[in-house]
């Protein structure tokens, strides 16, 4: 069987051995749970509870603030203690609902009630997913319901379940496939019901043979679903690379996967879809990996959203050696933490604690133009040229040579022998270009409004003049 893959990429140390054989453990804590109103891509949700209100697990505490947005649900029962900015993994405080747990984890009425999937209409399924607050929990945080609503359901011919888990050290998706495989397949089946022409493909990197075997066994009797092995390479699980590996199609930054007839969901998201649709369990918990060479006992744990990373780390035995770097997510795309007392959010996938900070230990040296970044870039970009443009503040040039196609996967920085902060430079430049685009759009809008107003004014004047002319009394001498 040939392995699906893409051109470029790198092979960072996988590190999955630390936690891949640890069965998922459930962790529950007392005390505060923090629910940021913005833990997805799109508009922040709007809080719909007051300080002092009692809430139940599974209750909506903030409603989606727009089309691209998502509900936020309480994961515990208790009292709303505060609605105020709290520190996030991003390093910034974000407006959050703080719930003091009563320790009983009482759920809303109807929680866990089985539903007959076949009896549900497409719209009902989408509404359930939307109400359940599900977003892409593989890391992107894009509202799932929006992804399930392409322009044309019939035009989707591939539905891809992303089980590649190419990010080093992470094993939560792997454990979910082994332990919750049936429900993941159930999630795929629910989604295939929405897209009548789609083939369901569960894509898994070949460094997870157990998961491949298990999932193959589970889809044996499913004519529309198959398992595809992918070459183990970072970033095989990036949406664009994954679609390319599975279908041979290419999508760029201005396209949605649906434009190429594809929809991609992480296996953990599919599990959440199944739970919400088939079992009336909205998204209130999440499986994450706690790992790294500084963690006493690396584990895969199922925790309630809003739990503090600090408590989770303590529950994993704390640190066995001094840690210099904490990362929320994996080492390639994760966010470094300077404060551990941050809540688990929907896109969180891991907490890594490392004794060494490879970034600080590897000082930057001059670029020798070795071309490793060019060979490794999965988007076929030329990082040294982009850096030159970005450093010269030449945003037009940056865009022209494809800067906005960069997906910040970090492969170029990883392979660089001169340890240059390439990805970091591109992140900044891309933000700048996006901001400039916004400014330009606003100016354009303003200009148009001005023009329109002027036009209206002119029309009004012309009309008045006409009126005046017709209404004018004819001088008697004429």
Partner 1 sequence: MALNEDKKLYHVSSSPHVRASVTTQKIMTDVIIAMLPATAFGVYRFGIGALIVVLATVAAAVISEYLYEYFMKRPITITDGSAVVTGMILALNMPPEIPVWMPMLGAVFAIIVVKQLYGGLGQNFMNPALAARCFLLISFSRAMTDFSASFPEGVDAVSGATPLAVLKAGGEASLSDLFFGNIAGTIGEVSVLMLLIGAAYLLIRGVISIRIPAVYIATVAVFMGLFGGRGFDLYYIACEICAGGLIFGAFFMATDYVTTPITPLGQILFGVFIGILTGVFRVFGASAEGVSYAIIIGNIVAPLIERATVPTPFGKGRYAEITKKLMHENTERGGK
The least CB distance from residue 369 to partner 1, in Å, is 5
The least CB distance from residue 201 to partner 1, in Å, is 14
Residue 193's nearest CA partner among 224, 150, 161 is 224
CB-nearer residue toward partner 1: 85 or 112: 85
Contact 345, 36 (CB under 8 A): yes
Paired with 228 in beta bridges are 203
Reading phi first (left if > 0) and then psi (alpha if -120 to 50, else beta), residue 268 is in alpha
The least CB distance from residue 258 to partner 1, in Å, is 12
CB-nearer residue toward partner 1: 127 or 358: 358
d(CA 150, CA 143): 13
For residue 299, give every residue at least 6 positions away whose Cβ sits within 8 Å of its Cβ, in sequence order, or none: 19, 22, 25, 289, 290, 291, 316
Contact 180, 169 (CB under 8 A): no
In 248-394, alpha helices (H): 267-279, 309-315, 358-361, 372-376, 383-391
CB-nearer residue toward partner 1: 68 or 382: 382
For residue 270, give every residue at least 6 positions away whose Cβ sits within 8 Å of its Cβ, in sequence order, or none: 161, 184, 187, 188, 191
Contact 89, 345 (CB under 8 A): yes
d(CA 361, CA 158): 44
CB-nearer residue toward partner 1: 159 or 274: 159
Contact 175, 300 (CB under 8 A): yes
CB-nearer residue toward partner 1: 70 or 97: 97
The least CB distance from residue 160 to partner 1, in Å, is 14
The least CB distance from residue 15 to partner 1, in Å, is 9
d(CA 132, CA 112): 12
CB-nearer residue toward partner 1: 68 or 155: 155
CB atoms within 10 A of CB 96: 26
In 203-238, alpha helices (H): 209-218
Burial letters 44-79, b for 16+ CB under 10 A, else e: bbebebeeeeebbbbbbbbbbbeeebbbbbbbbbbe
Residue 132's nearest CA partner among 145, 142, 123, 120 is 145
- Residue 205: enclosing H or E segment and its boundaries? strand 199-205
d(CA 156, CA 197): 6
CB-nearer residue toward partner 1: 70 or 416: 416
The least CB distance from residue 84 to partner 1, in Å, is 9
The least CB distance from residue 337 to partner 1, in Å, is 7
CB-nearer residue toward partner 1: 158 or 274: 158
CB-nearer residue toward partner 1: 115 or 310: 310
The least CB distance from residue 86 to partner 1, in Å, is 7
The least CB distance from residue 411 to partner 1, in Å, is 8
CB-nearer residue toward partner 1: 138 or 331: 331
The least CB distance from residue 347 to partner 1, in Å, is 14
- Inter-CA distances, 172 with 44, 112, 113, 177, Å: 27, 23, 26, 9
CB-nearer residue toward partner 1: 227 or 313: 313
CA–chain centroid gap for 273, Å, is 15
CB-nearer residue toward partner 1: 41 or 256: 256
The least CB distance from residue 122 to partner 1, in Å, is 20
The least CB distance from residue 351 to partner 1, in Å, is 12
């Amino acid at each position: 069987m040939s392995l699906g893959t893409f051109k470029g990429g790198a092979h960072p140390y996988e590190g999955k051995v630390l936690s891949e054989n640890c069965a998922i453990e459930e962790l529950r804590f007392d005390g505060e749970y923090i629910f940021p109103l913005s833990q997805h891509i799109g508009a922040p949700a709007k809080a719909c509870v007051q300080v002092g209100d009692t809430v139940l697990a599974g209750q909506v505490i903030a409603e989606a603030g727009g089309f691209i947005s998502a509900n936020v649900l309480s994961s515990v029962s208790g009292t709303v203690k505060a609605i105020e900015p709290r520190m996030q993994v991003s390093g910034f405080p974000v407006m959050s609902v703080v719930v003091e747990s009563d320790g009983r984890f009482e759920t809303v009425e109807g929680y866990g009630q089985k539903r007959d999937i076949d009896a549900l209409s497409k719209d009902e399924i989408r509404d359930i997913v939307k109400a359940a607050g599900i977003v892409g929990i593989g890391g992107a945080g894009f509202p799932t319901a929006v992804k399930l609503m392409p322009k044309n359901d019939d035009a989707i011919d591939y539905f891809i379940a992303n089980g590649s888990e190419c990010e080093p050290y992470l094993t939560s998706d792997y454990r979910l496939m082994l332990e919750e495989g049936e429900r993941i397949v159930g999630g795929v089946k629910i989604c295939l019901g929405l897209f009548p022409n789609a083939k369901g493909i569960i894509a898994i990197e070949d460094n997870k043979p157990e998961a491949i075997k298990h999932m193959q066994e589970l889809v044996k009797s499913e004519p529309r679903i198959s398992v595809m092995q992918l070459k183990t390479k970072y970033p095989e699980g990036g949406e664009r690379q994954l679609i390319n590996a599975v279908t041979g199609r290419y999508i760029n930054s201005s396209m949605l996967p649906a434009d190429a007839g594809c929809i991609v969901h992480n296996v953990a998201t599919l599990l959440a879809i199944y739970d919400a649709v088939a079992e009336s369990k909205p998204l209130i918990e999440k499986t994450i990996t706690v790992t790294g060479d500084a963690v006493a006992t690396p584990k895969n744990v199922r925790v309630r959203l809003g739990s503090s990373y600090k408590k989770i780390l303590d529950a994993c035995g704390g640190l066995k050696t001094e840690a210099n770097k904490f990362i929320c997510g994996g080492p390639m795309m994760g966010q470094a933490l300077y404060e551990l007392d941050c809540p688990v959010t929907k896109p969180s996938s891991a907490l890594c604690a490392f004794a060494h900070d490879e970034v600080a230990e590897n000082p930057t040296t001059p670029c020798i133009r070795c071309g490793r970044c060019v060979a490794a870039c999965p988007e076929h970009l030329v990082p040294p040229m982009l850096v030159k443009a970005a450093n010269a503040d030449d945003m037009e040039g940056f865009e022209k040579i494809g800067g906005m196609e960069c997906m910040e996967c970090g492969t170029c920085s990883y392979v660089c022998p001169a340890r240059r902060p390439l990805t970091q430079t591109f992140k900044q430049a891309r933000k700048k270009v996006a901001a400039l685009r916004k400014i330009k759009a606003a100016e354009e809008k303003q200009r148009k409004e001005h023009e329109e107003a002027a036009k209206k004014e002119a029309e009004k004047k012309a009309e008045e003049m006409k009126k005046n002319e017709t209404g004018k009394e004819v001088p008697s001498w004429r």
